[in-house]
């Protein structure tokens, strides 16, 4: 049995208890530093969540992938909110930018989760 360390990254230095100071929706410096911190700390992959107020996770993953060398990304995907053909194109672009073997999907189907589909 193997153990995998999974973190999560966001696009701003903010959280539920630390509201954003009104800065950019995507703070590239923060995304880069946060992704590199996970890589340096030995995390295997990071989750990039999906919710209505968040920037597109596929684009965030493509950018973070450029900033790191080995960190993998688990992209939250909600079928029905993003058309399958659009999601396939987004994953294809992220792979073209940061390299193959670094992306997987966390797809929730109905009330059951099916992880790492790609």
Q: Where are the alpha helices (DSSP H) in 20-77?
A: 28-40, 57-67
pLDDT bucket at 37, cuts 50 / 70 / 90: very high
What letter does residue 56 receive in the DSSP assignment? P
Give the residue among 83, 81, 74 at the shortest CA–CA distance from 106.
74
Give the residue among 68, 116, 66 at the shortest CA–CA distance from 95.
66
User: How much is the pLDDT for 111?
Assistant: 56
pLDDT in tens, 64-91: 999 999 999 998 888 778 888 888 888 8
User: How much is the pLDDT for 118?
Assistant: 47
What tokens does 92 get?
């294809």
pTM: 0.80
| Mean pLDDT calculated for residue range 36-52 | 92
The answer on pLDDT for 35 being more than 80 is yes
What tokens does 50 get?
């999906």
Angle at 47 between CA 43 and CA 52, to 5 degrees: 160
User: How much is the pLDDT for 86?
Assistant: 87
The answer on pLDDT for 14 being more than 80 is no
What tokens does 1 get?
């049995």
| Mean pLDDT calculated for residue range 18-33 | 83
Q: Which of 1-5, 10-14, 31-35 has the highest mean pLDDT?
A: 31-35
């Amino acid at each position: 049995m193997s153990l995998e360390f999974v973190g999560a990254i966001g696009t701003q230095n903010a959280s539920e208890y630390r509201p954003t100071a009104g800065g950019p929706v995507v703070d590239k410096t923060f995304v880069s530093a946060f992704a590199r911190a996970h890589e340096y700390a030995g995390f295997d992959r990071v989750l990039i969540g999906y919710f209505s107020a968040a920037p597109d996770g596929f684009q965030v993953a493509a950018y973070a992938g450029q900033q790191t060398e080995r960190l993998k990304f688990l992209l939250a995907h909600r079928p029905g909110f993003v058309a399958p053909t659009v999601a396939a194109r987004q994953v294809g672009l992220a792979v073209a930018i940061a390299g193959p073997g670094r992306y997987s999907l966390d797809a929730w189907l109905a009330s059951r989760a099916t992880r790492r589909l790609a």
